[in-house]
Amino acid sequence: MNRDFAALQHPTLDLLICGGGIYGAWTAYDAALRGLKVAIVEQNDWASATSSASTKLIHGGLRYLETYDFKLVSKSLQERTRLLRIAPHRVWPLRFGVPIFARQRFNRLQLKLGLSLYDYLAHDTDPSMRHRYFNPGQFSAHFPAIKQNQLKGGFTYADAQTDDARLVLELIAGAQMAGAYCINYCQLSQILETEGKAGGAIVRDQLTGNELTIHTRQIVFTTGQWLAREPPSRDWCRLAKGVHLVMPAVLDADALLLTAPADGRVFFMIPWYGMTLLGTTDTDFDIDTGQVAVETSDIDYLLAAANHYLEVPWTRSDIIGSFAGVRVFKQSLQSATSGSPSALSRDWELKTAANGVHYAIGGKITSSRQDAARIVDTVCEKLGSAAKCTTQEKLLPWAPPGNFATWFSRMTAQAAQLGIDTISAHWLLRRHGMKTTEILRQIETNAQLAQRIVPEVPLILADLLHCATNEMIVHLDDLLRRRLPLLILAKLSDDQLYEIARLAADPLHWDNARVAQEISRCGVFRNQE
């Protein structure tokens, strides 16, 4: 992957995409595969906002059955099945436990009916993806961390997990391989119109300050929360903040879906890089208030919700890391004045302004591929192109061909021979897919690169150097927050952060002054006592 701002001096583009999150990435990838001349620009880093701050799930949304949003659930479940097939390295099955306690909102029969409907809407023939019931003893044995008092049993059901930031990056890499111009740290300064119709834009390189004029036939905004800043899109959006905490490990392979006693909202405990991802909150957010932050009230809410179920309660000192993101919901007369954002639909809509610019409003990571296909369908219709979507069956760029289980087993054995511990090897394969081969070659020439960056996190030195060398890194937080989520998985000491920055400095061509600058920039992401 390479960043080449000057390459935007291309003759007229078919499509300019503004926003490098999951919707922009899928749109660029799809459009480039259809043969369109495409550019995608992102004012910060790829997946720098909500698309790296999700719950890391590819799921149908079991709780959406409560609001009878069967269409969205069915759509999401079909996409879940598809992504498990075309991206087995990037999206993998994850089972969730749902405990049944006395005097809770849903009883055994209600949960049974809901999970049966969920399985039906998925149309998945794999028996391992169907729900199961466990009696109290069986459920406690499966989830020993939760309280046994008044436990009446529980169910497990299947969804899927991903690494959101890595998914975005792989799609950007795929778009670039297919001929798209992909530039991070590039800001749209102005839309250029002729007779009231958008036909170009002025973009600014955030690193040099240089500006270029782009001529394009179509423009799409996939900028997420920033849609709420400017007309006309701000009238179409309602924003909600979601917070997650990284906590010590209390789960094995399966996750938990729980309901918060304070308000009945669904939240999750999910195994993630050997730790537990706890979240999410759902509170209204005003884009004009500034930075998206994890506040004391968010932490109190999540700890209270978790401790309602945990046998050994968590305290603030147990928090390893945290992050916050902003979701965009479709605005309506009802949603503008309704109570909790949790009641709003997670579905998506494409709006087109009077000047012909398209705006993607709302949506979910799970259904983003399908929604992006509709965006590109609309663009192609405007362009008079009959090119069809191919992303529904095409393996993702780094997906191994053939039998995934066989490939995974073979690569795990190869990693072990090179001295990579089992858990680190697992995550290496999930993170890089076929690119893992390049990383293992590095270790063959330098065995020290098989070691973990820090002991408590299953990420190795060769992974760090590969990302720094090949993945369009501009700043240290690009590397340590999104390419590798090290800043939220560990409480790094000053010495550890310095040593990591020095390792990355060589492939990134940073001098000592730049290293110091980048370390300072990482301050907002660090989690220290």
How many C-alpha atoms does 190 have within 13 Å on its Cβ side?
Answer: 6
**Residue 281 is encoded by which pair of tokens?**
């909150």
Neighbours of 307 (CB within 10 A): 15
Q: Is the pTM of this model over 0.85?
A: yes
Contacts 24+ apart (CB under 8 A), 110-114: 111/155, 112/155, 114/62, 114/65
Instruction: Write phi, then psi, for 313 (nearest 5 degrees).
Output: -70, 150
Alpha helices, H only, 50-181:
70-86, 108-122, 136-142, 164-177
Task: Give ranges for CATH 1.10.8 in the chain.
Answer: 404-525
Question: Residue 148, by phi and psi: left (phi above 0), alpha (psi -120 to 50) or beta?
Answer: alpha
Among residues 504, 503, 482, the alpha carbon closest in space to that of 44 is found at 482
Task: Give ranges for CATH 3.50.50.60 in the chain.
Answer: 5-51+165-232+353-383
Q: What is the reported pLDDT for 432?
A: 98
Q: How many angstroms separate the CA atoms of 342 and 355, rounded?
A: 33
Q: What is the reported pLDDT for 333?
A: 45
Q: What is the reported pLDDT for 527?
A: 56
pLDDT one-digit tens code per residue, 281-294: 999 998 776 678 99
CA angle 410, 1, 527 (to 5 degrees): 80
Strand partners, 259: 266
Q: How many angstroms separate the CA atoms of 176 and 164, rounded?
A: 19
CATH 3.40.390 holds for 404-525: no
Q: What is the reported pLDDT for 346?
A: 61
Residues 6+ apart with CB under 8 A from 187: 41, 43, 203, 204, 206
* 15 three-state secondary structure: strand
Q: How many angstroms separate the CA atoms of 105 and 399, rounded?
A: 42
8 Å CB contact between 453 and 428: no
| H helix or E strand, kind and range, residue 514 | helix 512-521
Residue that the structure tokens 């709003």 belong to? 344
CATH topology of domain 5-51+165-232+353-383: FAD/NAD(P)-binding domain (3.50.50)
Q: How many angstroms separate the CA atoms of 441 and 429, rounded?
A: 14
Strand partners, 91: 162
Kindly write down the DSSP assignment for every residue of 54-76, as one continuous string: S--EE---GGGGGGT-HHHHHHH
Q: How many angstroms separate the CA atoms of 119 and 157, rounded?
A: 9
Residues 6+ apart with CB under 8 A from 195: none
Q: How many angstroms separate the CA atoms of 168 and 229, rounded?
A: 24
**Amino acid type, 356:** G
Q: What is the reported pLDDT for 338?
A: 54
Cis before 231? omega within 30: no
CA angle 227, 53, 259 (to 5 degrees): 110
Q: What is the reported pLDDT for 291?
A: 77
Cis before 280? omega within 30: yes
CATH topology of domain 76-160+238-339: D-Amino Acid Oxidase; Chain A, domain 2 (3.30.9)
Burial class (CB in 10 A: 0-12, 13-18, 19+), 187: middle
Residue that the structure tokens 């980048």 belong to? 518
> Rg for the chain (alpha carbons), in Å?
23
Q: What is the reported pLDDT for 88?
A: 98
Task: Give ranges for CATH 3.30.9.10 in the chain.
Answer: 76-160+238-339
Residues 6+ apart with CB under 8 A from 426: 412, 458
* 517 three-state secondary structure: helix
pLDDT one-digit tens code per residue, 471-484: 999 999 999 999 99
* 339 three-state secondary structure: coil
Spans in the chain with pLDDT lower than 50: 333-337, 528-529
8 Å CB contact between 500 and 480: yes
8 Å CB contact between 400 and 433: yes
Among residues 389, 402, 356, 56, the alpha carbon closest in space to that of 195 is found at 356
Q: What is the reported pLDDT for 528?
A: 43
Instruction: Write phi, then psi, for 68 (nearest 5 degrees).
Output: 60, 30
Per DSSP bridges, beta strands 283-284 and 237-247 are antiparallel
Q: How many angstroms separate the CA atoms of 269 and 287, rounded?
A: 28
